Structure 1
Amino acid sequence: MTSPRTVRQDELDQPRPIYAVWEITLRCDHACAHCGSRAGPAAREDELDTAELLEVADGLVRLGTREVTLIGGEAYLRNDFILVIRAIREAGMRASITTGGLHLTRKRAEAMVEAGVELVSVSIDGDASAHDRLRGTPGGFQRALEALGHVRRAGGRIAANTQINRLSHGTLLPLGERLAAEGIVAWQLFLTVPHGNAGDALDLVLQPHQLPAVYDELQGVLDLCDRHLIRFWPGNSLGYFGPLEHRLRAVLPEGHYPGCQAGRAAMGIESNGAIKSCPTLGGPANTGGHWREHDLEAIWTRAPQMRYVERRTLDDLWGYCRECYYAAACMAGCTAMGEAVLGRPGNNPYCHHRALELQRVGQRERIELLEPASGEPFGLARFRLIREWSDPERRAREPPIVVESSRLPSSRPQRGTLEP
């Protein structure tokens, strides 16, 4: 879950990984149809051992990291995950965990809280039917709620995170009431990104033209969060200057989307020591380096992949986003979403403002699968983006207005190439 701590603009003047999302294992006890990292029963072959994990924690605090969220896979499936929490806390950083909660027992919850974890966010994706189908586990919804209860009774603060897709859309308001009754303090929502497993399952992914209905539902979610004093935390894939933008990002000093923070205030770490500017970006083109080959500071300061977002200019935008009124502020939204949908960042059809502007002139957009995603974590499928008329009769008579296919990624240095 994205940190509930607000990052001040002055903290971005000298980029540093204030917030790190750290996958300590790819091993998982769920089988999620929408999992970007394709986590499952097996860990990565070359995952860091306990001593290496503790060294990474020490390196993070030297870089100025203030909060670390442990993820997986499923972090608690490592026998040493409590040691990692303690190391984070003893170094003076905040520790949180994002979990599916399937086997988050009372004993594990008590150990996590005792070790110093400040927030546990449980992934709950819609009502029981949607959640259990998405996560491939009958009874998983109830187990997730029980996990929240275990942490709360152990004295920990609890939160939830929810992916919005075709199954969970329409279930968010009753889910929110249930989560409020459990005592959550924060709720993060974000759109399912069509990469990894979700790149193979387009039937789960919302189409861009469905976004106005999604934001109608989110308006009710915002009202619910206000009533129950729950902090609404928008994922990077939500928003972009629609009429709800100021409410979606009320937690930010800007009051609107500030652009992707990958490599500016955030860092992703994979369980084998691969370092990325964002935990949901995948592949060699997005890997700045490997902790076993270079120390964290060298990768953070000298790997071009870590500086990509910071150095991006308007000339890197294309398609609809290049001509948008909000281009300079938004910079095409979520880098991971743009790359997943169209092969490279810079043009993002999953935008509330864009969907409404097209709707106003009787148009809509949809994506069409050309080639399934690779089998790697966060593997990219190939899509075609089609802009067409909203009216079905006109759509049947006339050809698409615009068709854009996936573009090859812009040229980037390979992993391990550090600048002087």
Structure 2
Amino acid sequence: MYAVWELTLACDLSCQHCGSRAGEARSGELSPAQALDIVDQLADVGVREVTLIGGEAYLREDWLDITRALVGRGVVVGMTTGGFALDAARVQQAEDAGLRAISLSIDGIGQTHDAQRGRKGAYDAALAAARRVAASGIHLSVNTQINRLSLPELPALARLMAELGADDWRVQLTVPLGNAADRADLVLQPVDLLDLFPLLAWMQQTLLEPAGIRLRPGNNVGYFGPYEEWVRYQGAEGAHYSRCGAGEYALGIEADGTLKGCPSLPTTAYAGGDLRVTRLRELLTREPLRRLAERTVDDLHGFCRTCYYAEPCRGGCSYTAHAWLGRPGDNPLCIHRALAFEAEGKHERLVRVEPASGRPFDHGRFEIRVEDLPARDAPTLAGVPLARAAAAQPSDGGAHSVANLRRRLRVL
């Protein structure tokens, strides 16, 4: 079993796509004693791997104590970070505490990254942090949000992975959750997957595999279709995605002890209890945690209910489906689905009809509209010519002008 643990909601960045709307610490975050008790609870039920997140995990004063306690119980510990203040001292302290892996968030080249992260200098800080980690004994990964700003810069980012010495590159789709729920223009539409998946397969074979870097798509990047073997499994014949693991082999813990089946699930709909009050072993048997783990084809709806891959897929990523349509079981961000509509000259467009409330992990309400597939003269990635994007280098400065970024995001 694997857990993602939000140590604090405090953060030194202000990301446009942050699902938890991080910035200030939560009220009632765990005390040091409560956090160490949760360490014991995790180990006692057989959790073998924990990823520490925030906010920014290193802003919690006892993050190293928690790391050491987990390692002492035989748990493999990693951390996902924006890296803005991940200086040499913190990297050394993390290595000494037994932290096994650090995943740095890099969402674009230069100003594109800064614009999404809401702070000038975030890109340079992330690169410096990545190089510190690569020079240490800690495994380095990079994670990237795929959205309309980062999409045309993915080839340049793939080349950057090799320059940084990353072992793997973790990518996931930006979902309209939290801050991103307020920026529906930032997220990809289903039709964009028709460009994204061939690009991912090409990058894996042409840029990443020769450099010894593994592409690791997140649970919301899918599913099936002609690119599955290369995008997710490096060409392994017959390999395919197998349903959301929320509540079955994955857990999420919020900084106040709230338990969910996945850290990104909307809290209001999926909170499975409070670890300060009820032991994890008991909560794992209760309905909120079992709901997704025990989902069957009968729980699917819409396109997913009648899909050829319904049984192995079970509607894909639960939090992605819920963020778009208000419940799991019908996931419009699916390449097999996009290709099926393309074959009929159609595509699905998601239109926001109700805004989000402004709370962590909240979402608005969207409706699916089926429209004629628009004609295109030449292939592009979010408006950037494909040939230019494919040839881009990290030193080129990114695909977007400052004026365009300001217009799109109204930051910096």
The TM-score with structure 1 as length reference comes to 0.87
Q: Distance in 2 between matches of 1:234 and 1:322?
A: 24
2:343 maps to which of 340, 360, 364? 360
Matched residues, percent identical? 45
1:328 maps to which of 311, 319, 322? 311
Structure 2 residue aligned with 1:181: 163
Whether 2:231 is the aligned partner of 1:276: answer no
Deviation at 1:155?
2.2
Structure 1 residue aligned with 2:109: 127
Amino acid at match of 1:329: P
Whether 2:219 is the aligned partner of 1:242: answer no
Secondary structure of residue in 2 paired with 1:376: coil
Q: Distance in 2 between matches of 1:116 and 1:152?
A: 15
Whether 2:220 is the aligned partner of 1:208: answer no
Query: Does the Cα contact within 8 Å between 2:260 and 2:267 map onto a contact in 1?
Result: no
TM-superposition CA deviations, 1:251-309 (whole Å, max 9, x none): 799721110000111100000000000000022320110011101111112x2111112
1:74 maps to which of 22, 37, 56? 56
Q: Distance in 2 between matches of 1:53 and 1:310?
A: 26
1:29 maps to which of 2, 7, 12? 12
1:289 maps to which of 241, 248, 273? 273
Amino acid at match of 1:283: T
Q: Distance in 1 between matches of 2:105 and 2:16?
A: 14
Q: Distance in 1 between matches of 2:106 and 2:250?
A: 24
TM-superposition CA deviations, 1:87-109 (whole Å, max 9, x none): 01000010000000001011001
Q: Trace 1:109-120 onto structure 2 (pairs within 5 A).
A: 109-120=91-102
Q: Distance in 2 between matches of 1:221 and 1:87?
A: 39
Whether 2:309 is the aligned partner of 1:317: answer no
Query: Does the Cα contact within 8 Å between 1:113 and 1:151 map onto a contact in 2?
Result: no
Amino acid at match of 1:172: L
Amino acid at match of 2:182: D
**What is the RMSD of the two structures over their aligned residues, measured on CA atoms?**
1.5
Structure 2 residue aligned with 1:140: 122
TM-superposition CA deviations, 1:53-73 (whole Å, max 9, x none): 111011101000000000000
Q: Distance in 1 between matches of 2:103 and 2:338?
A: 30
Q: Distance in 1 between matches of 2:66 and 2:78?
A: 11
Q: Which stretches in structure 1 are left out of the alignment for 5+ residues?
A: 1-17, 394-420
Secondary structure of residue in 1 paired with 2:272: strand
Deviation at 1:362?
0.2
Amino acid at match of 1:148: A
Instruction: Name which of structure 1's ranges 30-39 and 249-258 shifts more when overlaid on structure 2.
Output: 249-258
Structure 1 residue aligned with 2:38: 56
1:258 maps to which of 242, 256, 266? 242
Query: Does the Cα contact within 8 Å between 2:356 and 2:363 map onto a contact in 1?
Result: yes
1:108 maps to which of 90, 98, 105? 90
2:355 maps to which of 369, 372, 380? 372
Amino acid at match of 1:265: Y
Instruction: Name which of structure 1's ranges 138-147 and 64-73 shifts more when overlaid on structure 2.
Output: 138-147
Amino acid at match of 1:28: C
Structure 1 residue aligned with 2:324: 341
Amino acid at match of 1:62: D
Higher-RCO chain (CA-CA 8 Å, sequence separation at least 6): 2
TM-superposition CA deviations, 1:213-235 (whole Å, max 9, x none): 11122122212221111122110
Query: Does the Cα contact within 8 Å between 2:229 and 2:237 map onto a contact in 1?
Result: no
The TM-score with structure 2 as length reference comes to 0.88
